[in-house]
Amino acid sequence: MKTLVTYMTQTGNTQKIAEAIYGELEGEKEIKPIGEVTDLEGYDLAFIGFPVLQFDVPPKVKSFLSEKTSGKNVAIFMTHAVPEGFEAIHSWTGSASQAAEGANILGTFDCQGELAQPVIDMLLKADDPQMKAFGEMGPSTKGQPDASRVQKAKEFAKEIQAKL
Ligand SMILES: Cc1cc2nc3c(=O)[nH]c(=O)nc-3n(C[C@H](O)[C@H](O)[C@H](O)COP(=O)(O)O)c2cc1C
């Protein structure tokens, strides 16, 4: 069984979750940024992760999901600044699942990730009120994903692998 963990990250949060997942996996495994993955040939399972950006899956990840995952076993993970349980998360998970509609999606995981200070500063200056509201929420995200979230990601990795 060969498993790939691949991810996009800008400030390290999604990478932290990717590494936690990777650390729990049994068998042959690889971890790579998504830009270094040409296709999923030779992998029995791929964990694919990204940060939510502008209320959606980042375009390059969306393309990857729609173009490279057909017929493959995949698990999706994401980090976002809003707290877990926030309603819009369903639409982000839905967007990723829709992009990967030809895949066998074994599960999805999401958790809060810290909004980096330069991003907070930028958002606070934005004209869009929704963006500004994100900036105001920024300080409450400090330190995420914390140890308990990392632990949940590890459990997710085990659950997914146990499905195969
Ligand atoms: C330009 C930009 C847009 C973002 N948009 C959202 C968003 O729509 N919803 C959200 O919950 N978080 C949003 N975030 C926060 C990131 O998803 C969050 O900080 C994530 O953990 C970053 O992951 P990374 O460190 O792997 O890049 C945004 C961040 C940036 C920089």
- Give the model confidence (pLDDT) of 66-91 as tens digits: 999 999 999 999 999 999 999 999 99
pLDDT of residue 144: 98
Domain ranges of the chain: 2-114+143-162
Query: Could you give the 3-state DSSP secondary structure of residue 43?
Result: coil
- List Cβ neighbours of 90 (8 Å cut-off, separation of 6 or more): none
pLDDT of residue 130: 85
With beta carbons less than 8 A apart as the criterion, state whether 69 and 40 touch: yes
C-beta of 120 in contact with ligand 1 (< 6 A): no
* Average pLDDT, rounded, for the chain: 96
Q: Is 10 touching ligand 1 by the criterion CB < 6 Å?
A: yes
The amino acid sitting at 56 is D
What is the C-alpha to C-alpha distance for residues 18 and 36, in angstroms, rounded to an integer? 15
CB neighbour list of residue 146: distance below 8 Å, 6 or more residues apart: none
Q: Which CATH superfamily is domain 2-114+143-162 in?
A: Flavodoxin domain (3.40.50.360)
- For the beta carbon of residue 104, count every other beta carbon within 10 angstroms: 15
Residue 34 DSSP class: G
Q: Which atom of ligand 1 is nearest to the CA of 15?
A: 26
Question: What pLDDT was estimated at residue 58?
Answer: 98
For the CA of 56, the nearest atom of ligand 1: 8
54 C-beta closer than 6 A to ligand 1: yes
Is the pLDDT confidence value at 131 over 90?
no
Instruction: Answer whether 97 contacts ligand 1 (Cβ < 6 A).
Output: no
Q: Above 90 in pLDDT, residue 138?
A: yes
Q: Kindly state the helix (H) or strand (E) to which residue 22 belongs, with its residue range.
A: helix 13-24
pLDDT of 134 > 90? The answer is: no
Phi, then psi, of 47 in degrees rounded to 5: -95, 125
Checking if the pLDDT of 120 tops 90, the result is: yes
Distance CA 72, CA 44 (A): 7
CB 160, CB 1: distance < 8 Å:
no
Atom of ligand 1 nearest to the CA of 9: 26
| Ligand 1 atom, smallest distance to 50 CA | 26
Helix axes 147-162, 13-24, angle to 10 degrees: 50
**159 C-alpha vs ligand 1 centroid, how far in Å?**
26
Phi (first) and psi of residue 71, to 5 degrees: 75, 5
Residue nearest to atom 28 of ligand 1 (CA): 53
